[in-house]
Amino acid sequence: MAATRSLILFALIGSALGQRTSMRYSDWFAVRPRTMLMARTVFKLTGANSDQCAMECLSMRGRCLSFDYHRQTRSCFGRANGDEVLRSNSDPSIRGNDNYDFYVTSLERVHAAVRNYQVSRDRDRERPPPARRPEPPRRQRVNRPPTGVFQDQRSQEKTTVIDQDDRLQQRLCREQQQELQQQQEQQQQEDQQQQEQQQQDQQQQRNHTRQQEDNVDRQDHKPYAIIHAQSQQDTQIQKQEYLQHKELQLKDTLLDRNIEHVDQQPKHIFQQDRHQHFGQRHEDKEGQQLGLELYHITLAPEHVQQSNQGQNVLSTRDQRQKEVQQQSHKFLQENESVRRSQQRQDTPHLEKLVKKALESKLG
């Protein structure tokens, strides 16, 4: 029994070594799990799922003819010459293409993996190369003096130089800190002064507003005698305004009556003669103005005369009316004379036109 076991072990070791030497990729190693004892060449794939296993198998170009993915162990095994049951060679398009000279269990997954693989490669090509990060500054090594009792003269000189540099740096740091503290103190003092000034301004403004309010209150709280006198003055002013308003209303009514009286009179005296002769129109601006003045003049009837002031106004209006009537009479006479002279001049011309028209009709 022991001899047979040793023989089997030697056979397995030899076959494994032979497979390892014959394999194309040295990273893959030969394995023989329990489910694949009948396969001649079995190797483990690095894929974490079935799609990755298919991609790996596809990249071997015929070396990997099929693969198996175990879900429980999440391990993937490829086979170069496995069982015929696992091969799916029914698709003729795969057999004719040299790029797909292998057989796997599920072809759809392989096609999907190929598409994803091509897309990822295209994306990698489009991406720019990663920028090189700048190297961090290297720290300068400071040669510390040895801790022993016996020290050389050179080491002592180095220590003195280093100590001087350290002291200078410490002094500079202290000066910078002092300057910063002074600046902060000055800033704080300025802020405090500004706050105090603002508070004083606010207090002054409040006092001013209070004084104004007190003055207003004092003006409001006047004694009764002053208020009574002011109220009497206000009432007198209101009475005067009311009387003035009434007087204006009466004057307006009188004017309205006078205008109605003028409208009732005949207007044929003030109308202009607008007779047209062959498109010629005889008008005068002065005559138009006179007519407008006559039309808008206001005449007061006799029964409205109540006071001496009213009588004087009426007398002046009568004089103005007479003057306007005289001017209009003169204007009408002149206009009639001009019209008659124009008619006399136009009559021979009209006779000639009539003769020509009759001759043309008769001819």
- The domain boundary, picked from 126, 147, 181, lies at 126
Give the single-character DSSP code of 30: B
* Final residue before a domain boundary, out of 60, 93, 126: 126
Residue 237 placed within a domain: no
Contact 258, 298 (CB under 8 A): yes
Closest alpha carbon to 76 in 47, 36, 99, 37: 47
CB 256 within 8 Å of CB 316 = no
**Amino acid 352: pLDDT:** 72
| Residue 183 located in a structural domain | no
Residue 158 lies in a domain: no
Give residue 9's pLDDT band: very low, low, confident or very high (50, 70, 90): low
Judge if pTM exceeds 0.85.
no
Domain boundary among 126, 143, 163: 126
Q: How confident is the model at residue 307 (pLDDT cuts 50, 70, 90)?
A: very low
pLDDT band for position 34 (cuts 50, 70, 90): very low
Residue, of 356 and 84, whose pLDDT is higher: 356
Question: What pLDDT was estimated at residue 42?
Answer: 61
216 part of a folded domain: no
**Of 34-43, 76-85, 214-223, 237-246, which one has max mean pLDDT?**
237-246
The four Cα atoms 59, 60, 61, 63 give a dihedral, to 10 degrees, of -160
- How confident is residue 332, by pLDDT bands cut at 50, 70 and 90? confident
276/117: higher pLDDT: 117
Q: What backbone torsions phi and psi does residue 46 show, to the nearest 5 degrees?
A: -90, 5
β-partners of residue 70 are 75
Domain residue limits at 83 = 2-126
Domain count, the chain: 2
**Domain assignment of residue 141, yes or no:** no
